[in-house]
Amino acid sequence: MDSTNPPRDAPLPESRFAVVLVEPQFRDNVGHTARAMLNFGASELVLVRSPPVDDTTRQRAVHAQGVLNAARHFASLDEIRSEFEVIVGFAARYSTLDKAHLRQSEPLDAVAQRLDGMGGRVALVFGREDFGLSNEDVEKCDLLCTIPTSHAYRSMNLSHAVSVALYELTRPEHPKMPYVSMATPHEKRVLFATWTHLQTALGFKPHRVEQGDIMFQRLIGRAGLTSWDYHRVMGVLSRSLKTLKAWPPPGLIDPPGSDAPNEDEGEPRS
């Protein structure tokens, strides 16, 4: 009978999805997560402010030792944002209030449909077992996703949540749409910096600018910004700032040949 386990020397599978665990509290869950990832063809594990991998972690990972061996450790989400076109934060807590844009979340199936039409790499971010992602980490996510569970008991075990998320995101029943060219992480950084500067130039108070930044990032995340969208929006923002005599935003220095807007008013290059 053929074994259902991968050979020891089997190469790790490639996937557009990476799993990011922020401050996992229990080494068991890190090991179980590595095993769940391999079940669904994912192998890129990123650990943020995590305890080191130990024997307990490896025991729980069983045949997914390669995932643990290749895991990368970072001190903050900021260090990995430039690597991914889309960052999806998972949370049991959410808000249905229109003004509570920080915690506005979408169900997993809806997020899966969004990602089907988006190109690029996707980071799936999961928080601590006791209270999930902090507001600071949520602010760094493009989309916020909630796995529908019973109202009587919303929170899931960390590795279980990863399993459910990867199952829904990778199942072949999803109709695969042709990928469009998405805005790069660099382009989104330029856009967000320009939006912040425009609000400041218009005289908004700092706390309103901060709220506006979060709202705009959420809006762009839900929209799935393409490169074409980026250039069109930047054309409007840059011309507005030039009219206000406030162009360019301070600190927005880009090397030659970058995708930053120039004298063509943000029109796409041919």
Average pLDDT over residues 253-264: 42
Do 209 and 143 share a structural domain? no
Give the pLDDT of residue 1.
45
Last residue of a domain, one of 150, 170, 190: 170
Last residue of a domain, one of 170, 201, 231: 170
Would residue 7 count as lying in a domain? no
Give the pLDDT of residue 253.
59
Q: Between 173 and 63, whose confidence is greater?
A: 63
Average pLDDT over residues 119-131: 91
Lowest mean pLDDT among 25-34, 67-76, 77-86, 250-259: 250-259
Give the pLDDT of residue 154.
83
Kindly give, in sequence order, each residue whose CB lies less than 8 Å from that of residue 23, ignoring residues fewer than 6 positions away: 48, 49, 50, 127, 128
Is the pLDDT reported for residue 52 higher than 80? Answer: yes
Would residue 155 count as lying in a domain? yes
Average pLDDT over residues 99-117: 78
Q: What is the SS3 string spanning 44-112?
A: EEEEECCCCCCHHHHHHHCCCHHHHHHCEEECCHHHCHHHCCEEEEECCCCCCCCCCHHHCCEEHHHHH
Peptide bond preceding 248 in cis form (omega within 30 of 0): yes
Do 237 and 163 share a structural domain? no
Confidence class of residue 100 from pLDDT cuts 50, 70 and 90? very low
Lowest mean pLDDT among 84-88, 117-121, 149-153, 253-257: 253-257
Give the pLDDT of residue 104.
74
Confidence class of residue 126 from pLDDT cuts 50, 70 and 90? very high
Do 229 and 110 share a structural domain? no
Confidence class of residue 84 from pLDDT cuts 50, 70 and 90? very high
Would residue 8 count as lying in a domain? no
Confidence class of residue 174 from pLDDT cuts 50, 70 and 90? low
Is 152 strand, coil or helix?
A: coil
Is the pLDDT reported for residue 197 higher than 80? Answer: yes
Q: Enter the tokens of residue 218.
A: 């959420």
DSSP 247-269: PSPTT----TT-SS--TTTTPPP
- In terms of Cβ atoms closer than 10 Å to its own Cβ (0-12, 13-18, 19+), residue 45 is buried
Do 160 and 29 share a structural domain? yes
Q: Between 223 and 262, whose confidence is greater?
A: 223
Would residue 9 count as lying in a domain? no
Residue 88's closest CA among 45, 127, 46, 123?
A: 123
Would residue 247 count as lying in a domain? yes
Q: Enter the tokens of residue 13.
A: 């599978």
Q: Give the residues across from 18 on adjacent strands.
A: 44, 123
Confidence class of residue 95 from pLDDT cuts 50, 70 and 90? low
- Domains in the chain: how many in total? 2
Looking at the chain, the whole-number percentage of residues with pLDDT higher than 90 is 56
β-bridge pairing 17-22 and 122-126: parallel
Q: Between 7 and 163, whose confidence is greater?
A: 163
Is the pLDDT reported for residue 147 higher than 50? Answer: yes
Is the pLDDT reported for residue 262 higher than 80? Answer: no
Cα distances (Å, whole numbers) of residue 224 to 38, 183, 236: 28, 8, 18
* Containing structural domain, residue 40: 17-170
Is the pLDDT reported for residue 89 higher than 90? Answer: yes
Do 109 and 27 share a structural domain? yes
Q: Enter the tokens of residue 155.
A: 């929170």
Is the pLDDT reported for residue 249 higher than 60? Answer: yes
